[in-house]
Amino acid sequence: MRRVEFAYRLNEGPAGPPGLGHPLVDLLQAVQEGGSIVAAAGRLGVSYRHAWGQLKRWEVELGQPLVGWSQGEAARLSPFATKLLWAERQAQARIAPQLEAVRGELERAFALAFDPQVQVLTLFASHDEAVSALRGHAGGAGLQLDMRFVGSVDAISALNEGRCVVAGFHTPAQPAPGSLAQRTYQPLLEPGRHKLIGFARRWQGLAVAPGNPLGLGSVVDIARQRARFVPRALGTGTRLLFEEMLQAAGILPDSIRGLQAPEPSHAAVAQAVASGAADVGLCIEPAARALGLGFVPLLEEHYHLACLKDALDEPPVASLRRVLRSRGWRDRIAGLPGYTPSRSGQVLSLRRELPWWRFEAPPPRRALRPRRSGSR
């Protein structure tokens, strides 16, 4: 079994996308895209001799051919090299949220080391493309986000236990009384103790193969077509949303193929569909578009940032609210597919945004008096 070792670099300027690079993977990707070793060397900024030597060295190291070609034809990856690229992409998609969290932890440590005056805010959040973008955007304003991607339920629990200052979670735009969302989130949130900070609205929908060959447009279609569905993990808001959709459609979870293999993020769901391991999955639009997949919008939801009322005026939270209210941030989030800024940075009432506490309880049923026996 091949062993993996990690390393990282300290760079100035904005951070790139999360991921672990490897020179062999970069070289194979360049050959696949460029169609020749000459083109691959140009893309990577190295000499042809260096690129050729690296390919030959790795072929000896791995004991497998990597690139082949015929006279007058473009270079092509061997079946082994193609499988190697596929496996690496699959793994990268699955661990992207964890890599983002590791990078945030390292940057937090170095921020404190190099600038003791920098503000640091611990944020646990359900995985979201806009929250990932916020980390880099806030850093430019002197606010370092110590970010951990967890499920929505775990994020709010971490807030209540004092393990973070802000928690990110998402609910349907108009949560209904008696819904799974109400039963899950209401016990964790307390009016007067918690406050919401406006963030964004986003669409969740079905990631499908380009052209949607199975014609999937709802959870009913998924069950009827016996499509292979890739789910999110238990405790995530997207898993909760999917179960809510199944309940509303009167579909039993056992009717869906593939509920036994959950993925940790929207990107991993999209990668499973793109690789052919699944036919469909529920995710946000940017994850599907990034891999060239089709996207069928199903439901718009609010992504909330929650904190304790007492933390609203603390310097890191006040800085976060200023960043969210800025024109630059609103423009940034509006540029994400399927996203709309929604009162970004404003302090919102828990009761008004999540009206579960205003729903009236059904009147108690009147007890029936037993009839007296005997004739009239």
Of 205, 361, 163, residue with least CA distance to 296: 205
- 86-355: CATH topology is D-Maltodextrin-Binding Protein; domain 2 (3.40.190)
- The span from the first CA to the last CA of the chain, in angstroms, equals 89
Beta carbons of 148 and 101 less than 8 angstroms apart: yes
Q: What is the pLDDT of residues 339-375, one digit of tens each?
A: 999 999 999 988 888 888 765 444 454 544 444 444 3
Q: What is the pLDDT of residues 133-165, one digit of tens each?
A: 998 899 888 898 989 999 899 999 999 999 999
pTM of the predicted model, to two decimals? 0.67
Q: What is the pLDDT of residues 263-274, one digit of tens each?
A: 989 999 999 999
Q: In whole numbers, what is the pLDDT of the chain averaged over residues?
A: 87
Q: For the chain, give every domain's residue range.
A: 23-77, 86-355
Q: What is the pLDDT of residues 229-288, one digit of tens each?
A: 999 988 889 999 999 999 999 999 888 987 667 898 999 999 999 999 999 999 999 999
Residue 157 token pair: 């629990």
Instruction: Identify the CATH class of 23-77.
Output: mainly alpha
Can you say how many angstroms the Cα of residue 338 is from the centroid of all Cα atoms in its chain?
14
Residue 329 token pair: 């941030």
User: Tokens 């569909």 sit at which residue?
Assistant: 273
pLDDT reported for residue 373: 44
